[in-house]
Amino acid sequence: MNEFELIAKLTKSLPANENVVTGAGDDCAVLDLGAKDKLILFKTDAVVEGIHFTRETPPEKIGRKALARCLSDIAAMAGTPVAALVTIALPENFDAEFVGGIYDGLNALAEKNYVAVVGGETTTNPRHILISIALVGTVPRGKQILRSGAKAGDAIFVTGELGGSLAEKHLEFEPRLAEARWLAEHSSIHSMIDLSDGLAGDLPHILNASGVGAELLKSSIPISREAKLAARKNSSAKPAFAAAMTDGEDFELLFTVAAKSAVKLLDAWKKQFPKLKLSCIGKIVAGDGILIRDKGGSHKLNAHGYVHFT
Amino acid sequence: MNEFELIAKLTKSLPANENVVTGAGDDCAVLDLGAKDKLILFKTDAVVEGIHFTRETPPEKIGRKALARCLSDIAAMAGTPVAALVTIALPENFDAEFVGGIYDGLNALAEKNYVAVVGGETTTNPRHILISIALVGTVPRGKQILRSGAKAGDAIFVTGELGGSLAEKHLEFEPRLAEARWLAEHSSIHSMIDLSDGLAGDLPHILNASGVGAELLKSSIPISREAKLAARKNSSAKPAFAAAMTDGEDFELLFTVAAKSAVKLLDAWKKQFPKLKLSCIGKIVAGDGILIRDKGGSHKLNAHGYVHFT
């Protein structure tokens, strides 16, 4: 049983109550806690030494990344983050300066995004450092964007460029909070997710939640310079396109809108965010799964995650 | 630097914003997210294998305890828990049945307390299991009870009996949610905390936050049967009174009220909660620190936590 299967099993019948608007299975949980014009977003995310960072990663960047990942999930709902709690589990002979560095990086990103850090705890974890962030945010009532709203015919968009995040971006990415809120205000976004497991890993979450499939145009997938460089430097590395599809930790926004809004949205985006690429990479279709179209025709992407392309 | 010193250093200047009513340093953070008559409580708490449970602890009891500890913090603010997120970090070769057991115990306690479980994640942690719970709750606006409200002259109360929790209670305690809400509604509680580090460890949190001291009557401290039994069985064990002061994980409520309300409160409590002991154990005084009075006079308790008594 892998992580996804385990989670699917565990979250099949969770306790609920009337405060729950959207429970497990989206980027954030959505709660109604009685504010007239707002709903509450609720999210946790953990980073672990050896997986998301190493002991050699500067502590400021570890703390920054821990919070940035959670902020990216708030962005994926078109929300605004409000307050965070920080849990740091670390070996007993911890270096207080190292922990201080984690907080410095985290606090700087929190301040930049007007997020309050309202507490947390340190606890003991043998050998490895683990940081878990809990975050609450808000979204205008009824304006939260879920994974489940994609419709056949929708145009599929992605911000930025994909792949090669491990070279640097995974420690320095900017959560797309302002961009997501602008999208929710200026267009009718049907579905959205942030890319943490790669396009090939995360697009299926939208498709499965919405009961639809997707057709992507291979030449339209925006491939990062880092992914291209890595493929060029090392012939045994992933081809650049495969890297863009599967590398993970892009933390860009993937979303769908009605096809008729697509051109207008692209034009308005260019004026609003001239420095950040927005690419239309394909369309939502009836059915399921992902088809990739290139000059040679269409072929089916038959597994999410680390799939090899030719 | 110990855990308390590190936290004090890290939380000295945290990012804040106008949504924060009470930040780091109380049982929960208190946020104003725009609900007219409610404030939001926000808390995380982690349990770690080898500290809070062992690999031999039945998984249902591990999951139950992880959530119960967090519920106890909501109780300490006189709040109502609403929704939880569950982070389980575990070795790669995890036993899915074990993880299912953790969720079973957690879900059962959540349902009993009408708490929704709205998601979470599993992640990898080499060698040890760590469970972190994030919880949001609500409290009627202005009715949250903080650690900082104790006043000289207040009577000090504690629910239940103290010490010996490790024998069984730490896995089976009932968070005092209903009792705390009743207290907030039926009396003017000045300050409150839940006992996780023992009376000698947690009373100082109230005293320091309120800028006062305390005088306890030794004979009035309610000592649990388990603490007495352990001391009787093993002459090298902690004396029962020391166990009641320092064992930790009691998860009872410790609170203060104006002295003039004390007798009325005790009478009303006995009618409302006939099965749960409520003890007046002393009074708040000007100054600082804790004085213990017994037949031999008064002596100062000069360190929090694991202090030896004669």
CATH of the domain at A56: 3.30.1330.10
Q: Which residue has the higher pLDDT, A93 or A86?
A: A86
**How far lies B223's CA from each of A92, A178, B197, B246, B272, in Å?**
32, 56, 15, 11, 22
B130 and B172 belong to one structural domain: no
A164 and A290 belong to one structural domain: yes
Cβ–Cβ contacts within 10 Å for residue B297, how many? Answer: 8
User: Chain A contact for B287, CB < 8 A?
Assistant: no
* Residue B280 included in any domain: yes
B92 and B173 belong to one structural domain: no
A224 and A99 belong to one structural domain: no
* Residue B95 included in any domain: yes
Question: pLDDT at position B123, please?
Answer: 87
| Averaged pLDDT score across all residues of chain A | 92
B273 and B152 belong to one structural domain: yes
A49 and A168 belong to one structural domain: no
What CATH number does residue A253 fall under?
A: 3.90.650.10
Q: Is residue B239 over pLDDT 80?
A: yes
Only one residue has tokens 């209903």, namely: B178
Residues B119, A25: C-beta atoms closer than 8 Å: yes
Whether the Cβ atoms of residue B223 and residue B112 lie closer than 8 Å to each other: no
User: Chain A contact for B115, CB < 8 A?
Assistant: yes
Dihedral sign, Cα of residue A122, residue A124, residue A130, residue A136? negative
Mean pLDDT of A25-53: 95
Whether the Cβ atoms of residue A79 and residue A144 lie closer than 8 Å to each other: yes
Question: pLDDT at position A225, please?
Answer: 96
- Token pair recorded at residue B28: 């929960």
- Hey, which residues 137-166 in chain A have their CB within 8 Å of chain B? 138
Q: Is residue B6 over pLDDT 80?
A: no
Last residue of a domain, one of B114, B140, B166: B140
B81 and B221 belong to one structural domain: no
A151 and A132 belong to one structural domain: no
* Residue A161 included in any domain: yes
Residues B83, A19: C-beta atoms closer than 8 Å: yes
Least confident window among A90-99, B4-13, B212-221, B263-272: B4-13
B115 and B230 belong to one structural domain: no
* Residue B281 included in any domain: yes
* Residue A278 included in any domain: yes
* Residue B308 included in any domain: no
Question: pLDDT at position A306, please?
Answer: 38
- By the 10 Å C-beta count (0-12 exposed, 13-18 middle, 19+ buried), B219 is classed as exposed
Last residue of a domain, one of B140, B158, B177: B140
**Model ipTM value:** 0.93
A153 and A230 belong to one structural domain: yes
A88 and A172 belong to one structural domain: no
Name the nearest CA neighbour of B13 among A136, A111, A124, A130: A111
User: Chain B contact for A8, CB < 8 A?
Assistant: no
* Residue A309 included in any domain: no
- pLDDT band of residue A4 (cuts 50, 70, 90) is low
- pLDDT band of residue A114 (cuts 50, 70, 90) is very high
- Token pair recorded at residue B80: 């109502």
Rg (CA), chain B: 19
Residues A116, B17: C-beta atoms closer than 8 Å: yes
In the three-class reduction of DSSP (H, G, I as helix; E, B as strand; rest coil), residue B160 is classed as coil
Residues B116, A11: C-beta atoms closer than 8 Å: no
- B136: enclosing H helix or E strand: strand B130-140
Total structural domains within chain B: 2
- pLDDT band of residue B77 (cuts 50, 70, 90) is very high
Q: Report percent pLDDT > 90 for chain B.
A: 80
- pLDDT band of residue B302 (cuts 50, 70, 90) is low
Mean pLDDT of A123-150: 94
User: Chain B contact for A211, CB < 8 A?
Assistant: no
Question: pLDDT at position A307, please?
Answer: 42
User: Chain A contact for B17, CB < 8 A?
Assistant: yes
Q: Is residue B131 over pLDDT 60?
A: yes
Q: What is the DSSP string of B54-111?
A: -TTS-HHHHHHHHHHHHHHHHHHTT-EEEEEEEEEEE-TT--HHHHHHHHHHHHHHHH
Cβ–Cβ contacts within 10 Å for residue B133, how many? Answer: 30
Least confident window among A1-5, A17-21, A247-251, B90-94: A1-5
Last residue of a domain, one of B140, B168, B190: B140
Q: Is residue A304 over pLDDT 50?
A: no
pLDDT 10s digits, B172-184: 999 999 999 999 9
Domain that holds residue A42: 3-140
B30 and B132 belong to one structural domain: yes
